[in-house]
Chains A and B, each alone.
Chain A
Amino acid sequence: ETGVTQTPRHLVMGMTNKKSLKCEQHLGHNAMYWYKQSAKKPLELMFVYSLEERVENNSVPSRFSPECPNSSHLFLHLHTLQPEDSALYLCASSQAIYNSPLHFGNGTRLTVT
């Protein structure tokens, strides 16, 4: 039990599909994050939520749409993706958004065909 659970583990979708990634944390944390991990590149922070409010949106294309209905759940809605969006998407949580260590999930391996 990692404390941060991501589903699905793998996802293959066409460019016209709509899908959602789900993240759930059981740690009582107040902050949640989406990161994109591509080969040979540093992790890229996509979105940050603190107490269910979005506090960062790092110039992510609108085809990625986050949703945080409560402090335990985070979604990433996907639509009309491009092949270059294929990557490992990692969810993380922390007690606070300032200096608290991140706890990561196992990620969703996304392939866009």
Chain B
Amino acid sequence: AQTVTQSQPEMSVQEAETVTLSCTYDTSESNYYLFWYKQPPSRQMILVIRQEAYKQQNATENRFSVNFQKAAKSFSLKISDSQLGDTAMYFCAFFVGETSGSRLTFGEGTQLTVNP
């Protein structure tokens, strides 16, 4: 079974600074996908960034980037130049499978607060 662990229930950062959210996962598969989703107070889950396990290059989306360490099964999210609108719950998620048993497994989430 796949598991996803987010060890930081809460984090805070000052506006304009950089923060890193950690995520580790456990799987015996070699090909899979990793995601970070953001859930602001509006409750809608929004995809932030996606990483394919077969790609060695870390994914980047504007101020968001990941540090993907496949051997260590680590997938951290770095937010640069934090903005007040980044305040949200962040979920790490893991997807494996090409069959009907495929599923997306979420971590417990990290509540990030950006302070002015």
The yes or no answer to B104 lying at the interface (CB within 8 A) is yes
The yes or no answer to B35 lying at the interface (CB within 8 A) is yes
Chain B residues with CB under 8 Å of A40's CB are: 108
Give the contacting residue for A2; candidates B35, B44, B97, B101; CB below 8 A.
B44
- Given A40-B108, A41-B108: A102 and B102 within 8 A (CB)? no
Chain B residues with CB under 8 Å of A11's CB are: none
Number of B residues, CB within 8 Å of A: 25
- Given A43-B106, A45-B104, A98-B97: A106 and B33 within 8 A (CB)? no
Interface residues of B in 14-61 (CB under 8 A from A): 33, 35, 37, 42-47, 50
Number of A residues, CB within 8 Å of B: 24
Q: Mark A62-99, 1 if CB is under 8 A from B, else 0.
A: 00000000000000000000000000101010000111
Chain A interface residues toward B at CB < 8 A: 2, 40-43, 45, 48, 50, 55-56, 88, 90, 92, 97-99, 101-107, 109
- Given A42-B105, A43-B91, A99-B95: A107 and B100 within 8 A (CB)? no
B36–chain A nearest beta-carbon distance, Å: 11
CA distance A55 to B98 in the complex (A): 13
CA distance A56 to B43 in the complex (A): 24
